[in-house]
Amino acid sequence: ETGVTQSPTHLIKTRGQQVTLRCSSQSGHNTVSWYQQALGQGPQFIFQYYREEENGRGNFPPRFSGLQFPNYSSELNVNALELDDSALYLCASSLDGGQGGDTQYFGPGTRLTVL
- Nearer of residues 16 and 38 to other proteins, judged by Cβ: 38
Residues 6 or more apart whose Cβ sits within 8 Å of residue 84: 114
Residue 68 binds other proteins, judged by CB under 8 A: no
Residue 90 binds other proteins, judged by CB under 8 A: yes
Residue 96 binds other proteins, judged by CB under 8 A: yes
**E-assigned strands of 1-115?**
5-7, 10-13, 19-24, 31-37, 44-50, 53-57, 64-68, 74-78, 87-94, 105-106, 110-114
Residue 25 binds other proteins, judged by CB under 8 A: no
End-to-end CA distance of the chain: 38
Which residue in the set 35, 36, 74, 76 belongs to the binding site for other proteins (CB under 8 A)?
Answer: 35
- Closest approach of Cβ 29 to other proteins, in Å? 13
Residue 61 binds other proteins, judged by CB under 8 A: no
Task: Give the whole-angstrom CA distance, residue 32 versus residue 54.
Answer: 10
Where do contacts with other proteins occur on this chain (CB under 8 A)? 4, 6, 31, 33, 35, 40-45, 48, 55-56, 58, 88, 90, 92, 94, 96, 98-109, 111
